[in-house]
Amino acid sequence: MNPPSWNNWPELLALRAAHPQAQVVAGCTDVGLWVTKMHMRFAQVLDVTRVQELRRVETHDQHVAIGAAVTLTDAFEALVVQRPQLKTFANRFAGLPVRNSGTLGGNVANGSPIGDSMPLLIALGARVVLLSVRGQREMPLEQFYTGYRKNVLAPDEVVGWIKVPRPADGELLRAYKISKRYDDDISAICLVVNMRIAEGVVQQVGIGAGGVAATPARAVQTEAVLRGSAWTLEAAQRATAALRSEFKPISDMRASSAYRSEVLGNLMQRFWLESQGLRQINLESFRLEEAAQP
């Protein structure tokens, strides 16, 4: 039997409803490994990248809507246009071939606790839009996850869009990825802090973390410690302690639990130092010649 043909999302959703057991695929940078490394076989696959609507980035007044099947290269480009400080972080997601075929929706749907886009999207207050023949629903990204690689997707649903709010005035945003290799490596820890300070007081804060729990996570307790507080060294130290006690990371081949906790807090301290204008405290801005000056 020839596979059915489809190229728009109503057709995709009708097929999803008719074939809930089919394996949804996008760039296959995760699913491909299930086949080559784990020898899985799928009787049916449903390729969301054929749907042009899901390959678009749309800019709206309040947010940018990134189609689930937009490549990571294009998705990060759309984010970097609005927030240039994310360029280094974007370039550290896998390598160019994976960024050119993998999709943002695939990263989000796969839901690895050490995936890189989710801590960023959570810190930015992104919402995920789910589509099915029954209609659509949306939620804050952190509510999409229910457990280790588990999410709220119903058998007839797909991820349609990821809606990312535009930058707020005075937004202070930093995204940190700690991995064994600088290039083309998965995070041991990822921390993204997005803070808006007015007259020395934290007005709004979003903190996304990876590598610290069974799912990508929002640091709700640490956010609560900071919100409404004066942005001082003492507040940053309280946030550091709160972050370390909020999560109980596991030990695995990438890092021990103790290392992850230690580094998580250290990254909050780095955020404090960078918020005070300090440079030379990360690899991106470190210049050996300048550091060697007497």
Ligand X SMILES: Cc1cc2nc3c(=O)[nH]c(=O)nc-3n(C[C@H](O)[C@H](O)[C@H](O)COP(=O)(O)OP(=O)(O)OC[C@H]3O[C@@H](n4cnc5c(N)ncnc54)[C@H](O)[C@@H]3O)c2cc1C
Q: How far apart are CA 41 and CA 21, in angstroms?
A: 13
Query: How many residues bind ligand X, per CB under 6 A?
Result: 28
- Which one among 65, 76, 103, 162 touches ligand X, defined by CB under 6 A? 103
Interacting positions 228-267 with ligand X (CB under 6 A): none
Residue span binding ligand X (CB under 6 A) among the ranges 57-65, 97-105, 224-232, 240-248: 97-105
Interatomic CA distance for residues 112 and 95, integer angstroms: 18
Whole-angstrom distance, CA of residue 14 vs CA of residue 29: 25
User: Of 181 and 292, which has the nearer Cβ to ligand X?
Assistant: 181
Which residues from 67-96 bind ligand X, rule CB under 6 A?
68, 72, 93-94
Q: Please give the residue whose beta carbon sits closest to ligand X in the complex.
A: 106
* Structural tokens at position 59: 């800019």
Indicate whether 110 belongs to the interface with ligand X (CB under 6 A): yes
Q: Under the criterion CB under 6 A, does residue 26 sit at the interface with ligand X?
A: yes
Q: Which of 63, 113, 115, 254 binds ligand X (CB under 6 A)?
A: 115
Q: Which of residues 1-20 bind ligand X (CB under 6 A)?
A: none
The single residue listed with the structure tokens 């659509």 is 136
Q: By the 8 A CB rule, do 235 and 227 touch?
A: no
AA identity, residue 286 = F
Residues 36-65 that bind ligand X (CB under 6 A): 48
Contact between 107 and ligand X per CB under 6 A: yes
How near is the Cβ of 31 to ligand X at its closest, in Å?
Answer: 4
Binding site for ligand X (CB under 6 A): 23-31, 48, 68, 72, 93-94, 98, 102-103, 105-107, 109-110, 115-116, 158-159, 184, 186
